[in-house]
Structure formats: C-alpha cells, structure tokens
Amino acid sequence: MAHSTQRALVIVMSPITRDPRVLRQVDWLRGKDWEVDTVGPAGHHVPGVDIHYGLSEPAQWTRSKIGSMFIYALLPHALKFSVLLERLIPQEVCDRIAAGEYDLVLFNDHHFLPWVRNRKVFTPAVVERGIHLDIHEYVRPRVPRDSLWRVFAAPYYDWIRTYIGDRRFSTRSTVASGISDLYVSEFGIEPLTIVRNAPPYVELSPSPVDPERIELLYHGAASDVRGIPELLEAMKVLPERFHLTLILVGEQARIDSYVRTVEQHQLRVQFVDPAPVAEIAQHINPYDIEVMFYRPLNRNLEFALPNKLFEAFQARLAILIGPSAMMTSVVSEYDNGALASGWEVSDLVAAIEQLDHESLSRMKHNSDRAAREISAETEREAFFRSFGGTTA
C-alpha cells in the first residue's frame, strides 16, 4: 500500500521568514515528511514549503483615516473581521481546507481566530478532524485605549480574543505554564501543552572565564522594558572587572539613546552587531553571562521564557535574572545562573558583584550539560504531542 503523506496548513499573521517559532514548526513537520503549506503576509515563502498563500492587499479605502473610522466605529465585529482580514485570504486555500485536504490546521496568531466561525471553510468534518492553536504569548484581556484609534479598535480586538477559548479548537499550546494557567482560569479550557522557544542544539564548549574581565551580555530587542536602562545604571557603579556588551535589534532611535548614555557616562559598554538567528549561539559564546532583568510590568514579562534564555543555554553561558517565576524555575533546575533578589538597580548590582571566576565557570559548565535537553530537538516532541501527532 502506498504511503499517504500528511499535509499541514500553518497560519500566521507575522512575516514567517522572521518568526523563529513558526520556522521551527515548519522544520519539525517537514522533518517527519509532512507536506506543509502556509498562509500569511505575501512575499514570505519559506524554503521547503509547498505553497505559501499570501494575503491580498487590503482595499485602499480601508487604510484611510475615514475608512478606518467607519470600520471600527460602525461595523459589527464579524463584518470588521471580514473586511480587514478574511477577504484577503485566497479562495483556493479556503476551498482546500473545506475539502479536508489538511491533516493539521495550525493557527499561530490570534488575529486569524474568528476565521473558524466560517462554517463554509471550517466545516463540521474539518472541526472534528482537529484544529490546533499555538498561542505565542498572553493576549491582554483589555486593549489599552491610549489613542483615539484604540478607543474605537479596542472592542474589536477584545472580541477576537474571546476565540482563544472557542471549542472549535481541539488542542492548544503555548510557551510557558504561567500563561497556560491564565488561559485555563479564564476560558475553562484544558491546560495548554508547553512548547518552549528553544533553538536547535549546537555543538559548542563554554568559553574560558577571565577573572579580571567578566563579560556581561544582553542580546535582543532594544526596549526599556527589557532591563537595559537598569543594566546601564548598574554599569555606573560596578567594579572595573565587569564589562557589558549589547547586541541589539529594533528601533534605531532607541539604540542611539543607549549609545548616548554610554558615551555620556563613559561606561564599559560596547555595542556589537547582531548575527543571523541560526548563528546566535556561536556569536555570543565568547561572553560569560546573559542578563535578563525583566520587571513584571505586564503578564508576558511576568511569565517570560524568552528565546534568549534558551539561546544562552546553547551558547554555554551563565544566566542572571530577576525574580521571574518561569525563568527562575528553569535556572534553578539546571543550576546555571544567579538570581537578583528584587527589581531595583541595587538588587541587580548586588547579584552581579557576587559573580567570580569559580561561580561563572560552574554555571557555564552546567549550561553545557543541559544544552541538549534544552533544545528544539526536545521541544519537537512536545510540539507533536500537543496536537496528537507522532514523532515516530
């Protein structure tokens, strides 16, 4: 009997080529001989994907101020969704879903969620077969009404969010148990399967620690809520043996503001250009300790398990964090990091000052020991388990 290949449709609102979590899902599926199609922004076809269904351009009138006001102020939510997104989805992919051509339909973005209400596409047979939702973060219950546009748009996005608990989704996954608990409590759904944002295993060794020059590192988004201002404040008072490297992506104006602070105070801080996603571990391996000081300013920061945490494992770095619940659990399990006792700059300084050659070498060694377990290869098992797939 000829082998019947399974086919998956991966749906995402962000540019897929720049979304490591979605790229891993595609790789995992293709690695088990699934055929994969994708739906998302046009122009982001991933190598190995059979068909990428790019969204059409929205009608010009919907992008004008008057058009947006009309849509958000006057149209019912379901019609808003139809005008803003559903009509941009190619008819061919709708027909193929309805025809039952996909063994897995995987939603990766809450913006698309109301699409499941379309019974012509998601027929009872398709729903019974199973639709999976991978929700990457905690979507806030109430959109902040901090601008005129948000005042009108907020009720619509609150409505979209209600579909997270829709019973047409048979299985769900997310990035951290704390986020799963929030959704379980709110929607009365089954606990979500945890699939962490760990990158592939990389064969590396810990770099040696120079006791006279301890290398602190932050790599990632240039954002004040990621602890960068606190790190720069700490560098003003830390002993001379500590040096900081910032490898930043994001808004150039924000990066420039950090550069000005460093120059103004003549801090022992250098800026290094980022590397491609696949080369991050090798790029940051020469440093000693990754600092992730995320004040719990919102639910996603409170329960953060950021990509950089797992990239630090692959780079064989030690890890320094504040009292973040999810990260504390991981670092405590593998004994590969240090914990600041609170969220003040003085707490961060005290934690850094305790670091020395012996403790850092031990932490980096423990990251090395855990690197294979904290990798995409292990998380792949959880991914297939999340929707009842098999890794065999």
Range of the domain at 315: 214-370
194, pLDDT greater than 80: yes
The Cα–Cα gap between 343 and 327 comes to 15
Predicted TM-score (pTM) of the model is: 0.89
Residue 207 in any domain: the answer is no
Give the three-class secondary structure for 351: helix
Residue 246 lies in a domain: yes
Q: What is residue 198's predicted lDDT score, i.e. its pLDDT? A: 95
Which run of H or of E encompasses 385? helix 376-386
Residues 230 and 185 in one domain: no
pLDDT of the residue at 3: 40
Q: Indicate if 54 and 183 belong to the same structural domain.
A: yes
Q: In this structure, is residue 2 part of a structural domain?
A: no
Q: Specify the number of domains making up the chain.
A: 2
Token pair 């699934």 in the structure block, residue: 34
For the chain, the maximum distance between any two Cα atoms, rounded to a whole number of angstroms, is 72
Domain match, 177 and 230 both: no
Q: Which of 4, 90, 8, 101 minimizes the C-alpha distance to 48?
A: 8
pLDDT value for 54: 96
Q: Are residues 145 and 29 in the same domain?
A: yes
| 203 located within any domain | no
Please state, as a whole number, how many other Cβ atoms lie within 10 Å of the Cβ of residue 136.
Answer: 20
d(CA 372, CA 258): 35
- Are 89 and 107 contained in the same domain? yes
Same domain, yes or no, for 194 and 223?
no
Share of the chain above pLDDT 70, in %: 96
Give the pLDDT confidence of 120-143 residue by residue, as tens digits: 999 999 999 999 999 999 998 776
Q: Flag whether pLDDT at 76 surpasses 60.
A: yes
Tokens of 260: 């000005």
C-alpha–C-alpha distance, residues 129 and 117, integer Å:
16
- Is residue 116 domain-shared with residue 247, that is, in the same domain? no
pLDDT band at 145 (very low <50, low <70, confident <90, very high): low
Taking 50 as the threshold, does the pLDDT of residue 237 lie above it?
Answer: yes
User: How high does pLDDT run on average in the chain?
Assistant: 94
Q: What is the DSSP letter of 268?
A: S
CB 294 within 8 A of CB 264: no
| pLDDT at site 149 | 63
Res. 4: pLDDT tops 80: no
Sign for the CA dihedral angle at 73, 78, 80, 83 comes to: negative
Whether residue 322 lies inside any domain: the answer is yes
pLDDT in tens, 149-184: 667 888 999 999 999 999 999 999 999 999 999 999
Query: Any idea what DSSP says for residue 293?
Result: -
Q: Which two tokens stand for residue 134?
A: 């991978």
Summarised one tens digit per residue, pLDDT across range 313-369 is: 999 999 999 999 999 999 999 999 999 999 999 999 999 999 999 999 999 999 999
Please check whether residue 121 is in contact with residue 94, taking contact to mean a CB–CB distance below 8 angstroms. Answer: yes
User: What's the mean pLDDT in 12-33?
Assistant: 92
Contacts of 125 by beta carbon, 8 Å cutoff, 6+ apart: 100
Is residue 392's pLDDT more than 60? no
| Amino acid code (one letter) for 308 | K
| CATH number, residue 101 | 3.40.50.2000
pLDDT interval class at 390 (50, 70, 90): low
Mean pLDDT of 188-199: 96
Confirm whether 59 is domain-assigned: yes
**Whole-number pLDDT of residue 2:** 37
What was the pLDDT predicted at 147? 66
Which residues are registered as beta bridge partners of 106?
Answer: 10, 132
Average pLDDT of span 197-221: 97
SS3 state at 225 = helix
Q: Is residue 232 part of a domain?
A: yes
Same domain, 154 and 240: no
**Residue 117 sits in the same domain as residue 64:** yes
One domain, residues 86 and 176: yes
Q: Which residue has the tokens 């945890």?
A: 194
Query: Does residue 28 sit in the same domain as residue 56?
Result: yes
Same domain, 242 and 124: no
Asked whether residue 204 is assigned to any structural domain, the reply reads no
- pLDDT above 90 as % of the chain: 85
Dihedral sign for Cα 198, 200, 206, 212, please. Answer: negative
